[in-house]
Structure 1
Amino acid sequence: MIQPGGVEDPQRKTEELRSFLFLTAVMVPVLSVITVAGYGFIVWMTQLISGPPSH
């Protein structure tokens, strides 16, 4: 963010870069795996209760 003097704070820029890298390299893959695993679990439980899909 640009401060009133027109100079960016290098510490803030580093913090933003670190946050961006953490979100893209850690959180997105973790959330993707959780989402796919959750969907797989729901399908598995549904088939366990109602049986496999039939024609």
Structure 2
Amino acid sequence: MPDNQQTQQNEAAAPASRFSEIMAFLVLAFGIWPIVAIGAVGGYGFLVWMLQILNGPPGPPSH
């Protein structure tokens, strides 16, 4: 009997689990990852800007 009871509990928990999984995906796909992507691009731009301040702008070598 315990196996049958556990199977019924798992089936009852499946829709809530599926909903939470879909919500987690939506939060990651449309919330967290765009912020991470913008931060990565902004961080790279800041790094390039700082390197150009220290080393000068890119261009042909001076003789």
TM-score, L = length of structure 2: 0.73
CA RMSD of aligned residues (A): 1.4
Report the structure number with the largest CA radius of gyration.
2
Aligned residue pairs total: 52
Structure 1 stretches of 4+ moved >3 Å: none
Higher relative contact order (CA 8 A, sep 6+): 1
Unaligned runs of 5+ in 1: none
Identity %: 35
Unaligned runs of 5+ in 2: 1-5
* Larger fraction in helix: 2
